Amino acid sequence: MRSRQRMFAAVMRLLLKCLRLGRRRRFKLVRQVEQLWHYGHLCLRSLLYNSFTNGDVVLDSLFEPVYWLVDHVTRWFGVVFVALVIGLTSSIVAIVYICLLPLILQTYTPGWICWHLAYGHWNLIMIVFHYYMAITTSPGHPPQAKNDLTGVSICRKCIAPKPARTHHCSICNRCVLKMDHHCPWLNNCVGHYNHRYFFSFCLFMTMGCIYCSISGWEMFRDAYAAIEKMKLLEKERLQVAANQTYYQTPPPTFSFRQRAFHKSVVYLWVLCSSVALALGALTLWHAALITRGETSIERHINRKERQRLQKKGKVFRNPYSYGSWDNWKVFLGVDMPRHWLTRVLLPSPHLPHGTGLSWDLPPCVMEQSTPLLAI
């Protein structure tokens, strides 16, 4: 009996030792796995560590393929957008000359005929001139050498001098002087040397679309009513053709020329009204920016700077703003009163003030007594 108890006790001790040994091995394996995990994590962090890394940097890195795709698609589709602008504008001009101008010459008084001919052709010349200049004029790029540039930073993307108000365009892959934005409808950046051409094109295109919409309102109503009548007559003609007898004749239909005329008038009015609303809003936005003496990019920069200084109890002043009226004079290049006619109301290829590398006080602006706080 005692021998059996001793054997049972020995077996139990052996089992307990095996269990303890298995637990120790299992715990040891778990510890080794944890150590390898922490070591690998530490190695990865040491290789990828950056003190400037935050959530925004990680988000930008994740969206970098999307940015690359958008930049390249915009660059290639810029040619398509330019062709679209030229095609739509040419179609409107063709409709005016073919359909509306003969009607104006037959029905309007000599005074109104002279007004329409003078204003319409002046507006068309201004649109064509400024659009051509906005496309073909380079916005301006800083020089690669830093010999003659003082107080500039270095662009982190193209590793080149970056003067004040200069920003890097990811689509053009170059720094642009006084960059406002990259316009796909121009297939070009809007910068220091073509900003005036871009705004003038938007302004005169909006004025032309408003002129066509107002002048063609009555024609649009008549053409729309005629198209509805054509649809009704076409429906009646099909019904008569389905139940036609020997004594029945289908109602008269409009000719192809009449159909084309009415549809062209409707197309003209709808397109001009839509462009006037969309482009008019863009023109007002840029007019407000010009009044404040800032670009689209600087508006966001100045807003953040204004909020930062406001928390400190300070007031932010834009160093590139000379007052509302003087901002417009500097932007349009008006140095004397006659320039409002020769440089604003007539096509003018004059250059803007300055080189875009430094921003001294223009000669047309009076000295300012209020100290300016630089960005």
Residue-wise pLDDT tens digits, 40-92: 777 777 766 666 566 666 666 676 676 666 666 777 788 899 999 999 999 99
Has residue 266 been placed in a domain? yes
pLDDT at 371 over 70: no
Has residue 147 been placed in a domain? yes
Has residue 355 been placed in a domain? yes
Has residue 6 been placed in a domain? no
pLDDT at 172 over 50: yes
* CB-CB contact of 176 with 140 (8 Å): yes
Q: Structurally, how many domains does the chain consist of?
A: 1
Has residue 70 been placed in a domain? yes
Range of the domain at 196: 61-359
Has residue 20 been placed in a domain? no
Return the pLDDT at 370. 46
Which range, 41-45, 185-189, 223-227, has the best average confidence (pLDDT)? 185-189
The whole-angstrom separation of Cα 289 and Cα 301 is 13
The whole-angstrom separation of Cα 332 and Cα 199 is 10
Least confident of 214-223, 242-251, 282-291: 242-251
Least confident of 62-76, 151-165, 320-334: 62-76
Q: How many CB atoms lie within 10 A of CB 215?
A: 19
Return the pLDDT at 294. 93
Burial of 272 (0-12, 13-18, 19+ CB in 10 A): buried
More confident residue, 206 or 77: 206
- First-to-last alpha carbon distance for the chain, in angstroms, is 99
Has residue 236 been placed in a domain? yes
Has residue 38 been placed in a domain? no
Where in the sequence numbering do the catalytic residues fall? 183
The whole-angstrom separation of Cα 247 and Cα 226 is 28
* CB-CB contact of 357 with 142 (8 Å): yes
